[in-house]
A and B are shown apart, each in its own frame.
Chain A
Amino acid sequence: MIAKLLKNREILLVGAIAVLLALIALRFPGFVAPFNLARVYNDTSILIILALGQMAVILTRCIDLSMAANLALCGMVAAMLNAAFPGLPIPLIILAAMALGGLLGMINGTLVWKLDIPPIVVTLGTLTIYRGLIFLLTDGKWINAHEMSDAFKALPRLDLAGMPVLSWLSLLMIAVMFLVMSRTPIGRAFYAVGGHPHAAVYTGIDVGRTRFFAYCLSGTLAGLSGYLWVSRYAVAYVDIAAGFELDIIAACVIGGISIAGGIGSVAGAVLGALFLGVIKNALPVINISPFAQMAISGTVIIIAVAVNARAERRKGRVILRKAEAV
């Protein structure tokens, strides 16, 4: 029973996070106080939302390297909208950011779907283009806290039943994605398309269109994250979240989402993101040199793939011919 439980990737990850927290608690007990854990969760919320979008894309055997650039562009546009029309209701701005993110995702999706360009090439290209567009849009200028309206900055921090709206939003996204992935045809199609694209065609699933939807989804979530990022850190400039695409992918990989497609779960993506989040937040607290952070997350990624690959391989082995025991 316990052995069976341990095989489960998500439970393994929960265990790993628990061990990690215990180790940190040894040096700094305050870190595991419920209040602080809630803070760590809140700090990881954006990564969780992004990892959910990336998960959908990776499940279909694609990859979205442009998510961080998309986030930056949408965040900048949200900030510019707010700066230009301070009276604009914040929900409208959020919708605009999500719509723009969705549109940018659609561009990726269309290039993958209609032109059959490999996803890594498409998003490598749009990654530079989206970031470049921010520069063209702003001439490289920053939008600073005092140019943003108070309502714009306040929303993610607003306290609702003891937790900031940012945390609630990520919980909502987790719930929505869980429903989408497990209970809707498109969610199941993500798995089918990544698991066996050729066979998906025979079940009436349009592979290209499914990938297109995955990119729309990741784009929309990147758009939402764009607003959240900019309002949370109260600043917008060309380079925000530069390099964050690799964190997003790392979260997915740690969460057991197979880069070859078809394998992965919402819980995995969330846990993978949390694992990274705990490490990131713990390092400054337990006085490990900030310079060691990069090496640590690299090592974690390598261990995670190795563990996941082993788990997969063991399960994949079908022993057809049992000995004469029967």
Chain B
Amino acid sequence: MAHAQLSPRNIPDRLEGRGARLLRSWEALLIVVATVIFLGNSFASPYFLDPWNLSDATFNFTEKAMIAFAMALVIISGEIDLSVASIIALASTAMGYAVQLGVDTPVLVAIGLGVGLVCGAVNGLLITGLGLPSIVVTIGTMSLFRGLSFIILGDQAFTGYPESFAWFGQGYVWWVLSFEFTLFALLAVAYGVLLHKTNFGRAVYAIGNNQTAALFSGVRVARVKFTLFLLTGLMAGLASICLTSRLGSTRPSIALGWELEVVTMVVLGGVNILGGSGTIPGVVLAALIMGMVTFGFGLLNVPGIVMSIFIGLLLISVIALPILWRRARRRLAH
């Protein structure tokens, strides 16, 4: 790039159009992967292309994806929250406890969201207030939150949720369109707008790329990060409502191991684990891909662990392939 050819007073806004940018994007790659998996599933199983079955399949990922949206923002800002699955457990336990006291659905929802917010605030305070590394703090709160559920519940279960509460995890808005999937779609749009179209989203990217410079530029780093952990807690609370409603019961081992699946979803969606880049459409695609893979394999009665091998390979290869490809092209060019 010799600068001599550029007339300095006339720098173009962009060098390439929207189409060209999209073509080279991670999302394009994910769309190809998603299409291949969709077609593969349609050929492999006669049951795949059935509206009710597809609708059932969405339950495999909707709850995780809700958290993944907020997690994407956290990771883009250069942090991570491994306590989300434990927040689900604690929120669910709190709701179950409330049910024993005879509380009705609206209050249950408020409790679920409230516990999520409180847990998020605890994470946020430890991380932004005391300046501790989020990966370690949330490994700690991951044990703490689920540990509290174990203390409250022990080997018991809470059941007896009110009939009306079942709607969140089992209800349908219209025909095959479940409440959960509708919520997922709405949240996808909301988070897409928040991250890509607002000042807040811009601040998230700035923090992820260079926290110090962002601070010097007037971004309220601590406040933004705190908000992000609150949001993740809130989403975990929401997911807890959906999951608890779907299961109709609470045990302390609920949603065990989900944190890694959520992180996998976010990374597969093209979010840089080191912070600074990533998009919500990417995360949506990754959620769809993971949902289709598990459902497709399920239809073939492939054990879950084989699916996780596949997801593991997918995770490494979608990141490795572009790197190898770029390298090969450079070698050819030489």
Bound-state CA distance A302–B305 (Å) is 32
Classify chain A's interface size: 35 or more
> Chain A nearest CB: distance from B96 CB in Å?
15
Q: Is A249 an interface residue, CB under 8 A from the partner?
A: yes
Return the chain A residue nearest B256 by Cβ.
A243
State which residues 230-285 of B face A: CB under 8 Å: 252, 257, 260, 263-264, 267, 272-274
Q: Is the CB of A115 within 8 A of B323?
A: yes
Taking CB atoms, residues of chain B closer than 8 Å to A129 are 309, 312-313
Q: Is the CB of B323 within 8 A of A292?
A: no
Please judge, given known A-B contacts A115-B324, A135-B303, A306-B130, whether A246 and B139 are in contact too, CB under 8 Å: yes
Q: Is the CB of B316 within 8 A of A117?
A: yes
Q: Is the CB of A133 within 8 A of B309?
A: yes
Q: Is the CB of A253 within 8 A of B136?
A: yes
Q: Is B315 an interface residue, CB under 8 A from the partner?
A: yes
Q: Is A296 an interface residue, CB under 8 A from the partner?
A: yes
Bound-state CA distance A313–B130 (Å) is 11
Bound-state CA distance A253–B303 (Å) is 35
Please judge, given known A-B contacts A136-B306, A293-B147, A298-B144, whether A111 and B136 are in contact too, CB under 8 Å: no
Q: Is the CB of A120 within 8 A of B144?
A: no
Bitwise interface map of A from 239 to 250 toward B, beta carbon under 8 Å scored 1, else 0: 000010010011
> Chain B nearest CB: distance from A259 CB in Å?
5
Q: Is the CB of B142 within 8 A of A298?
A: yes
Q: Is A228 an interface residue, CB under 8 A from the partner?
A: no
Q: Is the CB of B140 within 8 A of A126?
A: no
Taking CB atoms, residues of chain A closer than 8 Å to B323 are 115-117
From B151, B263, B267, B305, A289 is in contact (CB under 8 Å) with B151
> Chain A nearest CB: distance from B109 CB in Å?
26
Return the chain A residue nearest B143 by Cβ.
A298
Chain B residues packing against A (C-beta within 8 Å): 126, 130-133, 135-137, 139-148, 150-151, 153-155, 252, 257, 260, 263-264, 267, 272-274, 303, 305-306, 308-309, 311-313, 315-316, 319-320, 323-324
Known: A259-B136, A298-B143, A302-B141. 17 other contacts (CB 8 A): A115-B319, A118-B274, A121-B273, A124-B264, A124-B315, A132-B309, A133-B309, A135-B303, A249-B136, A249-B139, A250-B140, A291-B151, A292-B147, A294-B150, A295-B144, A299-B140, A306-B132
